[in-house]
Amino acid sequence: MDTQALKNFITLAETLHFTKTSEKVFIAQPALSRQIKQLERSIGAQLFKRDKRNVSLTKAGVYFNQVAQQTVDQLDYAIKRTKQIHLGEAGEVKIGYTHSIVQTILPRIVKEIRTKFPGVKTVLREMNNTDQYKDLAEGRLDIGFATNIIAPENIKSKVFFEDVFVVVLPKTHHLLKEKKFDLSALANEPFILPHKIDGSAYVYTVESICLDAGFFPNVVHNTASVSSALKLVEAGLGVTIEPKRSLSSQNLAIKFIELNKISQKAQSAILWSDHTEREHLSLLQLIKKVINL
């Protein structure tokens, strides 16, 4: 059934006048009459009563007018929604992130998405670097945010922020009483770090910080969760090194010392794929604007 024929039928049902309808829909009156007759034949019901002076809807026509209007409205909505999804303005976007991102820029990003693209649902997943690379490559993730990355060739990335590293210690740790902190004093301390499987570049960076101070970290606990690492530090089970921003909004019995004289920095990067550019280009451009890229 021709969609335009449905729309012409609806207009005729409103005007009940063939001449006025033909002018509105830009079709000759004879052609309109043939179109309506063909529509009635295809349905198998008379939709209009006609005489030389008047046109009126039959009972079947009244019912079909209601259903036709709903059908056209649903089709128009589907077309509009499909276009929005194609342009990345509707549907859902899946965002992966590491801990420091949710402590800082992620809430603003989600708010901007909601403001600019109210039809887009954001699906947020806290993930390690390795899982982000894999899911981006396989299309299960649209955009990623990670720290100190080594992205595969099929993943695009851009660093947008550099943060200082800090040593995190229990609030009562004896080194906090020292007038001058020397990183080499941590040589015999138990460390809590992610496993290299979860983010090799990040772990290598932390190891390089320790090696520059003359020791290799004695890792006794592995966890990719920053929240878990900080709770273990609070419990006196070890120390860790984190980006300073990871400690935002924390209310734990811990203290940190900034490592502002070392060359290593915590680099926050955005990650995306060709799939992202095809399906969510407008949204990707918005996020880049938010993070000043």
- Condensed to tens digits (0 to 9), the pLDDT of residues 154-198 reads 999 999 999 999 999 999 999 998 888 899 999 999 999 998 888
C-alpha span between 110 and 131 (Å, rounded): 21
Question: In this structure, are residues 169 and 200 in contact, taking their beta carbons and an 8 Å threshold?
Answer: no
Structure token pair of residue 162: 């550099």
Percent of the chain exceeding pLDDT 90 equals 66
Q: Judging by DSSP bridges, how do beta strands 218-222 and 190-193 pair with one another?
A: parallel
Q: Give the pLDDT score at 180.
A: 87
CATH of 91-161+268-290, one of 3.40.50.800, 3.30.1330.100, 3.40.50.300, 3.40.190.10: 3.40.190.10
Second-level CATH architecture of 165-264? 3-Layer(aba) Sandwich (3.40)
Q: How confident is the model at residue 134 (pLDDT cuts 50, 70, 90)?
A: very high
Over range 21-44, report the average pLDDT.
92
> What confidence score (pLDDT) does residue 35 get?
92
Residue 51 has pLDDT above 70, yes or no: yes
The pLDDT score that the predictor gives to residue 100 is 79
Mean pLDDT of 38-55: 90
The domain made up of 3-86 has a fold known as: Arc Repressor Mutant, subunit A (1.10.10)
Instruction: Say if 91-161+268-290 and 165-264 have the same CATH topology.
Output: yes
> What is the token pair recorded at 43?
């349905």
Under a CB-based contact definition with an 8 Å cutoff, are residues 132 and 177 in contact? no
pLDDT digits (tens, 9 = 90+) for 78-91: 787 777 677 666 67
For residue 254, pLDDT over 90 is answered with: yes
The mean pLDDT of the chain is: 90
- Taking the C-alpha atoms of residue 128 and residue 196, their distance in angstroms, rounded to an integer, is 10
Mean pLDDT score, 5-21: 92
Its pTM stands at 0.65
What is the mean pLDDT of the segment spanning 227-256? Answer: 91
Q: Which of 128, 135, 109, 171 has the alpha carbon at shortest distance from 276? A: 135
Mean pLDDT of 118-147: 92
Give backbone dihedrals phi and psi of 173, rounded to 5 degrees, phi first: -65, 140
Bridge partners (DSSP) of residue 214 are none
Q: Residue 1: what pLDDT?
A: 67
Of 91 and 204, which is predicted with more confidence?
Answer: 204
Segment 4-26 shows an average pLDDT of: 91
- In whole angstroms, give the CA distance from residue 131 to residue 177: 40
What are the boundaries of each domain within the chain?
A: 3-86, 91-161+268-290, 165-264
pLDDT the model gives residue 90: 64
